[in-house]
Amino acid sequence: MHFQDLILTLERFWAEHGCVIGQPYNSEVGAGTFNPHTFLRAIGPEPWNVAYVEPSRRPTDGRYGENPNRLQQFHQYQVILKPSPLNIQELYLDSLRALGTDPTKHDVRFIEDDWESPTLGAWGLGWQVWLDGLEISQFTYFQQCGGIDCKPISGELTYGLERIAMYLQDVDDVYDLSYAEGIRYGDLFQRNEWEWSTYNFERADVELHKRLFDEYEAQVYRLLGLSTEKQKGNVLEWLEADPKKRLVLPAYDCVVKCSHYFNVLDARGAISVTERQRYIQRVRHIARGAAVAWYEQREALGFPLLKKVAEAAE
Amino acid sequence: MPDLLLELGLEELPASFVRSGLESLGTAAKELLAAHRLDCVSIETLGTPRRLTIVAHALPDAQPDREEVVAGPPWNVAFKDGAWTKAAEGFAKKNGVSMDALFERTNEDPKKPSTVAAKVFEQGRATAEVLAELLPELCRRASFPKSMRWGAGDFAFGRPVQWLVALLDDVVVPFEFAGIASGRTTRGHRFLAPASFEVPSAAAYEDALEGRHVIVRIERRRALMEQAISLAAGALGGTLVPDEFLLSECSMLVEKPFVVPGSFEPRFLELPEAVIVSVMRDHQRYFAVKGPDGKLLPRYLNVVGTANDPERIAKGNDRVLRARLADARFFVNEDRKQKLVDRRPKLDAVTFQHKLGSIGAKVERIERIARHLATVQQLDASLVGRAAQLAKCDLESLIVFEFPELQGQMGRFYAEKDGEDPAVCLAIEEHWRPAGASDAVPTQALGALLAVADRLDTLVGCFAIGQAPKGNADPFGLRRAALGVIRIALEGPIDVPIAEAVDTAIAALAHLDFDAAAVRREVLAFVSARLDAQFRGEYGADLVDAVLGAWNHGSLRDFRARLEALAGFRSAAEYEPLAVAFKRAFNIAAQATGDVDASLLEAGAEKDLADAFAKARADIDAHTAKGEYAAALARVATDLKAPIDRFFDDVFVMVDDERVRGNRLALLGQIAGTVSRIVHFHKLQPAEKS
């Protein structure tokens, strides 16, 4: 199974199980969770089922294309089922079967692995899924997102596509994966890894990234109509009282950018331990602002997806 | 006498959740059944990652009937002007009794007024009926390290609830919990017997599951697993590297244990064995196997939940392990590009505690304290400096960053590769010991010196910056640190003069602004409290107290020598009378001043005591000074017991003549003083003669 067939199979599988097939976010993210399809839609009462590929960047994991297992950019396949159905584990196992992996012929186990994103103010409980000792997926029941308690609860399935493909294709080096007929993963990404590793560790302009962080952070406050006075603690003070006038999506875009610039600065070794905490708090605060603004806006709009479900039921 | 079976079917629980869930359910079941007058013979807990099960054996068919006196409103409110009031009528109605069944009942507390009361008969209800009401509460009382919500988000539990089985023998107890209705339908092994099926009865439950590849009894599952891994280790020509954590963890990760052996390339054996074992245990939960020569084999044992195709499973796991070991080897090779000692400057940039400064600063203090301790005890101090400087360097290595539990072991490994002195290498590893109550103390003096210095620095430093433990909160592990020092002195190769050591640690922190006298007092009191906690169970609180008073924070071994001498003496016939006599002498002598004037001694008991004391005093003091406490106590018993008893029998101390009185007090004061240097007899509480 080529790498791209793996994606196509999952797309088909989850589409047949009622998911909207979404698209990757067009800004740098560390994981599929940052995509508004997950981060924003997990908030509030509206039902939502979505599946998409997310190219995910982890600048500190870069190895200049020399390590057979580690990449600064890899691909997640992200599924959100909200509310999480009671048969979510069975659905997940069915998706493995669709990939040609018969769980009775392997050792498939759900091993405790709780998840937390300090920058997103999000956490959940769940597992990593082991396939013959290899962690192939993360499975999380979101409990909080942007500091807001989730209700209903989203079930998040995140497949590590490279790992699964290496397993299915029986290769030890990620760059040897067959991406498509006649095209290796290395043909597409090995140079990519070297360039971005060099950039993240050696060449990224520290002052530029610090400035960009500050500017985009300020932009979030402006777009949301959020006071900068009370950044400390958990207080959100709105200057713009009308939720419909707040530009939630552009503001969230800036939150994602701040998070990415922080990651680059971290990889670049430009942040001290104490500064690190402060940066995380700053991103967390604006992420929370965007989350609350999103909730209030959806509420002001009458939670449109909830209405659809009600209409369909009639 | 029916049995109750309650099975909560859940999504995969972590091992710690199975344990805490079952423990809380067991306790709650006991309490709730008793509170509802349903006494059972025993309660068993069974469980796997997917189910928590409670079995209550031999319940009654129904609650016993009961009649009890129920008290109502005060009598003067219930009965006024010769007639029942509305309040009385309400009380009777509420309890279902007629008005003529009411009577006056005096209150047990005579200060409180009497009340109206009624004998209320309650017919015992059928057990099944009571259980239907009680089981939801039982389920709610399951507790977990963390709980979560799922689906609509209305319920919180350790993991989502999938099904509920509740049977009283073969009859379903109907109830609902977390949106799930109870029944008799359960599920077998997730992959090997996935179909749901009906449990015929509580008694048939365990076997029915076993037939579907679920071993629900925890001890049995673990025993089967241990048997299987031992066999598998034998088949590989080796023996298992024992690991209690893995045994307990792995048996809780599967519903039925299968063992799949795997292997890695022998070239990885050039890594330190501890690294290989850690990689296998921490990341993959594999057991390591040793060959007949005691060396690690390039094999491992993997406990899995499904093993229809062991070769395929082994191949997958081998691949994962290979990548992990390659990572570890990369870290070790990177680390070895630099000598261990060259990492020392980096420690100056790593914060230990922001007020106490860097790890590098701590290392300097450790060296200073350890040197001083070596000097005062006339130990070889020549390697102390090198060992102290290297002790923490591995904290800056990649491998310890990845596997923190290898601190010390990796430092030793790198130091050996760098050609450091073998004693230094060993000390690097041993200075972390004891890591906990079950860990051994350092075997050699050098590591012990560093270990004591390190712990005292932490102890004194934290007290100096106001971070002493409060209540149960002990974020810096100071109790463990103090206990570590005590154990090293008592079980290890070096003694620790505790006041001296604390003073040195305080001096090493001279750059900080704190009340040195207060910190000295507090730290020594803290050590005394640990000694007390450690020894009172074995020796009794009063013995420890008596020794602590006389010991005066000398060396820790001296403390134990006194304690053992006194404990040995306790069985002697003279012990109790002496304790009583010296207690008296001590109390009276508190008023003593000045020296004994021999010319004022009265012939007889008083003079005899003074003579006996004068004869024995130098010997007792000499024994005490040499730490020969048993001998000192023996002399006290043989030479002083009889005279002092006679003295108290025959001599009246508090005579009117001020000079005679003062002289007698002075004599008692001197004796009490000499004896108090051994132990504080007046703190002993001789057992009441029964």
Q: Domain spans of chain A?
A: 3-201, 204-305
Per CATH, which fold does B556-683 belong to? Isoleucyl-tRNA Synthetase; Domain 1 (1.10.730)
Q: What confidence score (pLDDT) does residue A276 get?
A: 84
* Inter-chain CB proximity A127 and B12 less than 8 Å: yes
CB-based contacts of A181-187 (< 8 A; 24+ apart in sequence): A181/A2, A185/A3, A186/A65
Distance CA B14, CA A126 (A): 10
Could you read off the pLDDT of A129-155 as tens digits, one per residue?
A: 999 999 999 999 999 999 999 999 999
Q: What confidence score (pLDDT) does residue B689 get?
A: 42
Question: E strands along B14-146, which residues?
Answer: 42-48, 51-57, 66-74, 79-80, 83-84, 103-105, 115-122
Q: How many CB atoms lie within 10 A of CB B13?
A: 27
All residue ranges of chain B with pLDDT < 70 are 686-690
Structure tokens at B310: 């062991």
Contacts of A172 (CB under 8 A, 6+ apart): A68, A166, B319, B322, B323
Q: How many CB atoms lie within 10 A of CB B195?
A: 7
Q: What confidence score (pLDDT) does residue A271 get?
A: 84
Q: What is the largest CA-CA distance in chain B?
A: 104
Q: What confidence score (pLDDT) does residue A231 get?
A: 59
| Chain B residues within 8 A of A86 when measuring between CB atoms | 151, 160, 162
Structure tokens at B463: 């007290």
Q: What is the CATH number of domain A204-305?
A: 1.20.58.180
Structure tokens at B430: 């041993």
* Inter-chain CB proximity B306 and A132 less than 8 Å: no
Query: Looking at chain B, which residue has its C-alpha nearest residue A68?
Result: B323
Q: What confidence score (pLDDT) does residue B459 get?
A: 96
Q: What confidence score (pLDDT) does residue A232 get?
A: 58
* Inter-chain CB proximity B149 and A141 less than 8 Å: yes
| Chain A residues within 8 A of B148 when measuring between CB atoms | 124-125, 141, 143
Could you read off the pLDDT of B96-140 as tens digits, one per residue?
A: 888 888 999 888 888 888 999 999 988 899 999 999 999 999 999
**Across the strands, what pairs with B163?**
B9
A127 close to B (CB below 8 A): yes
Distance CA B17, CA A110 (A): 14
Distance CA B197, CA A170 (A): 38
Which residue is listed with tokens 């730490």? Answer: B627
Interface-testing mutation among B148, B259, B309, B334, with chain A (most A C-beta atoms within 10 A)? B148
Contact assessment for residue B88 and residue B78, using Cβ atoms and an 8 Å cutoff = yes
**Across the strands, what pairs with B167?**
B5, B172
Q: What confidence score (pLDDT) does residue A44 get?
A: 97
| Chain B residues within 8 A of A152 when measuring between CB atoms | 151-153
Could you read off the pLDDT of A271-292 as tens digits, one per residue?
A: 877 788 889 999 999 999 999 9
B14, B308, B315 ranked by CB distance to A104: nearest: B308
* Inter-chain CB proximity B317 and A111 less than 8 Å: no
In this structure, which amino acid lies at residue B410?
A: M
Query: Poorest-confidence range of A121-135, A247-261, B80-94?
Result: B80-94
Q: Nearest-CA distance from B500 to chain A in Å?
A: 37
Query: Looking at chain B, which residue has its C-alpha nearest residue A172?
Result: B319
Distance CA B460, CA B452 (A): 12
Query: In this model, does residue A106 exceed pLDDT 70?
Result: yes
Contacts of B305 (CB under 8 A, 6+ apart): A107, A108, A109, B189, B190, B191, B253, B254, B255, B256, B257, B258
Q: What is the CATH number of domain B341-539?
A: 1.10.3210
Structure tokens at A259: 């998070």
H-helix or E-strand spanning residue B290? strand B286-290
Question: E strands along A58-121, which residues?
Answer: 73-82, 108-112, 115-117
Query: Looking at chain A, which residue has its C-alpha nearest residue B322?
Result: A172
- The CATH architecture one would assign to domain A3-201 is 2-Layer Sandwich (3.30)
Which residue did the predictor score with more confidence, A296 or B579? A296
Query: In this model, does residue A230 exceed pLDDT 70?
Result: no
- Chain A, 202-261: which have a CB under 8 Å from a chain B CB? none
Interface-testing mutation among A97, A132, A141, A275, with chain B (most B C-beta atoms within 10 A)? A132
Distance CA B282, CA B186 (A): 33
Query: Looking at chain B, which residue has its C-alpha nearest residue A84?
Result: B151
**The pTM is what?**
0.80
A153 close to B (CB below 8 A): yes
ipTM of the complex model: 0.94
B49, B150, B254 ranked by CB distance to A141: nearest: B150
Question: E strands along chain A, which residues?
Answer: 20-21, 48-57, 73-82, 108-112, 115-117, 122-131, 134-145, 148-149, 155-160, 178-180, 183-184
What are the angstrom distances between the C-alpha of B526 and each of B485, B494, B506? 12, 21, 15
